[in-house]
Amino acid sequence: MMRFFQPAVFLIDRLRYPHKFALISFFFALPLALAFYFYLSETGERIDFARREMQGNAYLRPLQKLVEQLPQSMSLADAFLREEPFAVEHLPNKQAEIDEIMRAQQQADRELGNVLAVADQARVVRADWDDLKKHLPSLTPAISNDLHRKLQSDVLSLMSAAGDASNLILDPDLDTYYTMDALLLKLPESLDLLSNIRLFVASHAGQSLTPEQRADLVTQAGIVQANLDKLKKGMKVAFANNPGGTLKAGLDGPLAQYYSAVENLLREISRQADKDRLDSDLNTFHSLSAAALFSNSRLWAQGSLELDKLLAARIEGFQQRRDMLLLLSLGAVLLVTWLWAGFYLSIMRTVANLKTAANRMRDNQDGVTVTLDNRDELAEVAQAFNSVGQALAQSGKKYRSIVENSVTGIFQTSPDGHYLTANPALARMYGYDTAEELIDGVNNIGSQLYLAPGRREEFTQLMAQKGVITDFESEIRRKDGSTIWISENVRLIRDGAGNPRITKAWCRTSPARSAPRKNCSRPRRRRKRPTTPRANSSPTCRTRSARR
C-alpha cells in the first residue's frame, strides 16, 4: 500500500504548503468545474430551446387567424362570383381584414422568418393571396374555391414548418407538449374541417346528396370527432402533468365550450346526413357551426397564452436553478478558500510556535513548551516536540551543570581570536571572576593571552591542517599578569562550505606546573617542546608549572 502512495508522498514532500494547497485544489476543482460547465451548458441549451418554442408560438398567431379567415373569404368569394348582393358588400371588408393579418404575418416573418427558416415559404403564401385577390373577379366559383383551399393548405403547411423549426413538435414536457399539439395540429385541422363542412352544407342547402357526397360528409364529421377525442385525451394528460395546476385553470372553460359546441354541431351534421334532402333553412346549422368555429378560435388564443406562460415559467425555473447553483458554488468556493486559509494559518502558527520554542531552547531557556488548541495531528506533533524539548532541557541542564561545575576549562573561540563561550573553571584559571568577564575582557587571544610571539599563529596553522589538536602546551598570561602553563585539546568546526567556523576546546593547568609564576619584566628563556599532537589521545587541556 505504501508503495502505491510513494510517488504522491514524494511530490508533496517537495512542495511548500501554498503549493500543496494549490495542487490539491486544482485536481479537486477540475472535475467539479467540468461538471459545472456541462450543467450550465445544458441549462443554457434548455433555456434556448424554450425560447425558440416561444418564438414559434408567436409566429403561429397570425397564421392561425389566416386559417380562421380564409374559409370565410372563400365563402364570400363564391357568393360574390355568383353575384349575390350581400357578398358584394362584405367581401371587401373580409379581404381588408385578411390584408391586415398578412401585414402582421409579414412583421412576424421579418423578426423570426430567418430564425425559423420559413421566410421563403411565408413569402409564397403572401404572394398567392395577393394574386388570388387580384384575379378573383375573373375566376369561376370552382377555381376560386380551389385556390382558396390551396392557400389554406399552404398556411397549414407553413404552421407545421414553423412548429418543426421552433422545436414545438419536440417539447419534452407533457403539459406543454399536448398544449402545443392542440395549437399546432388538432385545432387548426378541426377548424379547416369544420369550415369545409360548413361551406359544403351551405352550398347544398335543400338538395339531395349523392351517396358519395353523403359518405364524404360523414367521413369529415368522423375525422372531426376523432380529432376531438384525441384532443380530450391529450389535454387530460396535460392537466395531470402540470405541477402548478395553472393550465387547467386557464383552459378548462374554453375547452368545455369547444367540446360542447363541436358535439352539438356533429349531432346536427349527423341529422342532416340521415335525411334524404338537406334542409333549405340552415339557420340552426349555421348557428352551431359559427359557435364551433368561434370556440375553436377562442380556445386556440387562450391555449397560445397558456403555452407562453408555461414556457416562461420553465425558463424562469432554469434560470433560478442556474443562479442558485452559481451562488452556492460561489459560496462553496469562498468557504473552501476560507477553510484552506485557516488550515494554512493553523499550520504556520504551529510552525512558528515550534520555531520560537526551538530558538528558546537554543538560548538555554527553561520551561519551553508549545501550547496549541488543535485537536488534530499537529497537536500530536506539538506533544512530541514538548516531550523532546523536556528531554533536551533535562539533558541540557545536566550538560550545563557538568560544564559549569567542571574543574577543566571548556570554551569556544572564533577564527579571529574571540571567546564565544567559556565556563567558570576557565575564567578562574585565567584569573577572572566570571566567564562573562573573561569573554568581554579578552578581544584578541593571540596578543592578550599567549606569551610566546607567534604561538597563536602556530596554533591556527596546526588547526587548519589537522582539524584536531591534543596536548597543545602554551604559557598564558593571566589577568593579574602572572603566567601559567596550559595544555589544550581542540577540535575545529567547519561550515557547509568548508570554512572554519568555531573551535571547541578544553584545557587545564599542568599538575607539575600548577603554581602561577609572578609577572617579570623580562620573560625567561625556555626550551621549546614538541607540539606534535599525540595520536588517538582524548581531548584534554593541561597546564604545566613554569620551569624554575
- Label residue 182 by pLDDT band (50, 70, 90): very high
Percent above pLDDT 70 for the chain: 89
Distance CA 60, CA 179 (A): 14
pLDDT of residue 521: 41
pLDDT of residue 520: 42
What is the fold, at CATH topology level, of the domain defined by 406-509? Answer: Beta-Lactamase (3.30.450)
pLDDT of residue 416: 85
Using the predicted structure, report yes or no on whether residue 237 has a pLDDT greater than 80: yes
pLDDT of residue 131: 95
Ramachandran bin of 467, using left for φ above 0, alpha for ψ from -120 to 50, beta for the remaining angles: left
pLDDT of residue 503: 80
Distance CA 71, CA 77 (A): 10
- Label residue 370 by pLDDT band (50, 70, 90): low
pLDDT of residue 159: 93
pLDDT of residue 364: 63
pLDDT of residue 193: 92
pLDDT digits (tens, 9 = 90+) for 464-482: 888 898 888 889 999 898 9
Q: Are 302 and 247 in contact (CB under 8 A)?
A: no
Distance CA 46, CA 251 (A): 26
For 371, phi and psi rounded to 5 degrees?
-110, 125
Cell digits for 71?
Answer: 374559409
The residues of the chain that CATH labels 3.30.450.20 are 406-509
pLDDT of residue 89: 87
Partner residues linked to 503 by β-bridges: 413, 492
pLDDT digits (tens, 9 = 90+) for 484-515: 999 889 998 888 787 888 887 878 886 555 55
Report how far apart the first and last C-alpha atoms of the chain are (Å, whole number). 78
pLDDT digits (tens, 9 = 90+) for 183-221: 999 999 999 999 989 888 888 888 888 889 999 999 999
pLDDT of residue 108: 94
Comparing 370 with 392, the larger pLDDT belongs to 392
Mean pLDDT, range 31-50, rounded to an integer: 91
- Label residue 368 by pLDDT band (50, 70, 90): low
- Label residue 543 by pLDDT band (50, 70, 90): very low
Percent above pLDDT 90 for the chain: 48
Nearest to 53 by CA among 185, 183, 163: 163
Cell digits for 195?
Answer: 369550415
Query: How many residues are there in the chain?
Result: 548
pLDDT of residue 21: 82
Mean pLDDT, range 248-263, rounded to an integer: 95
- Label residue 545 by pLDDT band (50, 70, 90): very low
Using the predicted structure, report yes or no on whether residue 532 has a pLDDT greater than 50: no
For 31, phi and psi rounded to 5 degrees?
-65, -35
Partner residues linked to 489 by β-bridges: 506
Cell digits for 286?
Answer: 349555421
Q: pLDDT averaged over the chain?
A: 85
**3-class secondary structure, 13:** coil
